[in-house]
Amino acid sequence: MMIIRPLMASDADALLNLAYKAGVGFTSLPADPNHIAGKITASLSAFNSEVDFTTEQSYVFVMEDTHTNTVVGICGIESSIGLSSPWYSYRIGTLVHSSRELKVHNSFPTLYLSNDQTACAEVCTLFLDPDYRHSKNGQLLSKSRFLFLAQFAHRFEAKIIAEMRGVSDENGQSPFWDGLGAHFFDMPFADADHLTGLGKKEFIAQLMPRHPLYINLLPKAARDVIGEVHGNTLPARKMLEDEGFRYQGYVDIFDAGPTLETQVNDIRAVRESKNYLVKIEDHIPIGTVPYLISNTLLDGYRCTMVYIKVPESGPLCISSELASNLHVTALDTVRLVPLFSQHTSA
């Protein structure tokens, strides 16, 4: 069984292994032991702290294969971003140049360096071991966060974003970086990407131009990837859009990957999830619809996917094995939601 649980101190080596598999472009999990140690410390602190919107709280979860006790995936939620250090993105806007005398009226798409998404929550750090990209494991890993958001919405800002990995080639080279960033930073994309992943973002403010940048002046290869995602990220983008996230014209300043956003309460899985009392039985009929199911604990959070028949009223009957993996007993509460919207196919 695949179980989603909070990150633990003992997961350091497993996270480093996942970071090497993720490669260049996955800025939230660089293959750096010190950074991983810091991520573990921050996550443990978040789960054991009171709500505090004056600072970021980072909730990190892993997917564990209970048959092998192996960590095979990671995902996270930030309670708020841009508080301890500025959060940068490009906002795509428009500049109009007009001359009545010459009867000329032209509009030009532009990039504005902005901090507009400061104090938003963020779903982040999503990566699944390639060997486990089957059996709806990716949907479980990503959407498990939404049941946590539904249960603990008071710990997060009302607006939430998701940065999508932008286009880069098999060598980790970004066309957008080559066309723009490289002229101001004088370093390879992989180096700038690595520094950002380590939280060293001061150089962005120091080196990036503050005035609007005309998109038409960029090379075609750079223009073509603005707002586009890496091929491996297409399923993640579709998944988030099916849940209600939308692209609103903000892109990453390094690879121009799109940022998707919505309100926490508008996420489909948050809005449709319900709580049920638990009843444990030995013989449970198997349903035809996959559901996300979680307990309602904070630092003991557990979530998995199950095919189950849901009653119109009364308690939810689950097996003793499932109850054990969710760390619940009879008359405890679980949260449940269909894995997919009724308008979305698997």
Assigned token pair, 64? 């564990």
Q: Which of 105, 183, 230, 283 is catalytic?
A: 230
Assigned token pair, 72? 């095979």
> Which residue, 308, 304, 197, 297, is CA-closest to 254?
197
Helix axes of 12-22 and 33-47: crossing angle, nearest 10 degrees:
120
Backbone angles phi, psi at 159, to 5 degrees: -100, 140
Cβ burial, residue 346 (10 Å; 0-12/13-18/19+): exposed
> Which residue, 93, 111, 115, 83, is CA-closest to 209?
111
Active-site annotation holds for 230 = yes
Backbone angles phi, psi at 323, to 5 degrees: -60, -40
Backbone angles phi, psi at 325, to 5 degrees: -70, -30
Residues carrying an active site annotation: 230
